[in-house]
C-alpha cells in the first residue's frame, strides 16, 4: 500500500485553500469513486459561485488568462476529490483531460491545459505527474474557455 501523504499541509505551505465544491450545473455529481480511483466531472473556472472568464481562445481570451482559468478548474477538481474521499487519501494524479473553447485556427490547447498540469505538479510533486489530453472544442458550458477533469488514484477504503 502506498504511503499516506499530508497534502493538506502541502496546500497550506503553498497558501492554497480548497474552495467549496462547485454545485453541478446539470444532472451529474462532482466526483465518483470506483475502487481506488476518483473520477471528477469536468470543472469550470468558477470562483465563489461565478465564472471567472468567458470566451474562446483565439477570439479574445488570452493564453495566460485561460491558463489561469485551467488552474482554477484543477483547484475545483481537487475540492471535489477532497469532499468525496479527503485530499490526503490521494496517491497520485493519473490523468487530466482539458477542454479548450477554441476559435478556428487556434492550436495552443496544450499550453492552456498546462495551467492545470503545472498546478498539480506544484501540489503533488512527482505524484502529480500524469497522462493528459488537451482538446479543442467549439463551445463549453456557460461560455467557459476551459474545462478540466481528472482521475486520481486514492488509498484503498478501510
Percent of the chain with pLDDT over 70: 97
| Stretch 107-130: mean pLDDT | 98
Q: Please say if the pLDDT value at position 1 is more than 80.
A: no
- At residue 50's C-alpha, the angle toward residues 106 and 102, to 5°, is 10
At 17, list the grid cell. Answer: 485553500
81 domain-assigned: yes
Per-residue pLDDT band for 51 (boundaries 50, 70, 90) equals very high
Contact by Cβ (8 Å): 10, 120: no
| Stretch 56-66: mean pLDDT | 96
pLDDT tens digit string along 141-153? 999 999 999 999 9
**What's the predicted TM-score (pTM) here?**
0.96
Task: Return the higher-pLDDT residue of 106 and 1.
Answer: 106
Structural domain containing residue 114: 5-18+30-152
118 domain-assigned: yes
25 domain-assigned: no
Cβ count within 10 A of residue 35: 9
Contact by Cβ (8 Å): 80, 43: yes
Q: Please say if the pLDDT value at position 2 is more than 90.
A: no
CATH code at 96? 3.30.1330.40
Work out how many domains the chain is built from and give that number: 1
Torsion of CA 55, 60, 63, 64, to 10 degrees: -90
157 domain-assigned: no
Q: Please say if the pLDDT value at position 13 is more than 50.
A: yes
Amino acid at each position: 500500500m502506498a504511503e499516506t501523504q499530508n497534502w493538506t499541509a502541502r496546500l497550506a505551505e503553498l497558501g492554497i485553500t480548497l474552495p467549496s465544491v462547485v454545485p453541478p450545473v446539470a444532472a451529474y455529481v462532482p466526483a465518483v469513486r470506483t475502487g481506488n480511483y476518483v473520477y471528477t466531472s469536468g470543472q469550470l473556472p468558477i470562483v465563489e459561485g461565478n465564472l471567472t472568464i468567458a470566451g474562446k481562445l483565439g477570439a479574445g481570451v488570452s493564453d495566460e488568462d485561460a491558463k489561469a482559468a485551467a488552474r482554477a478548474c484543477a483547484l475545483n477538481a481537487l475540492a471535489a476529490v477532497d469532499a468525496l474521499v479527503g485530499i490526503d487519501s490521494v496517491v497520485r494524479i493519473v490523468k487530466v483531460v482539458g477542454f479548450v473553447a477554441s476559435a478556428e485556427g487556434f492550436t495552443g490547447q496544450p499550453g492552456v491545459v498546462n495551467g492545470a498540469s503545472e498546478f498539480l505538479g506544484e501540489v503533488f510533486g512527482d505524484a502529480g505527474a500524469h497522462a493528459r489530453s488537451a482538446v479543442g472544442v467549439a463551445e463549453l458550458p456557460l461560455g467557459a474557455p476551459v474545462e478540466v477533469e481528472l482521475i486520481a488514484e486514492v488509498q484503498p477504503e478501510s
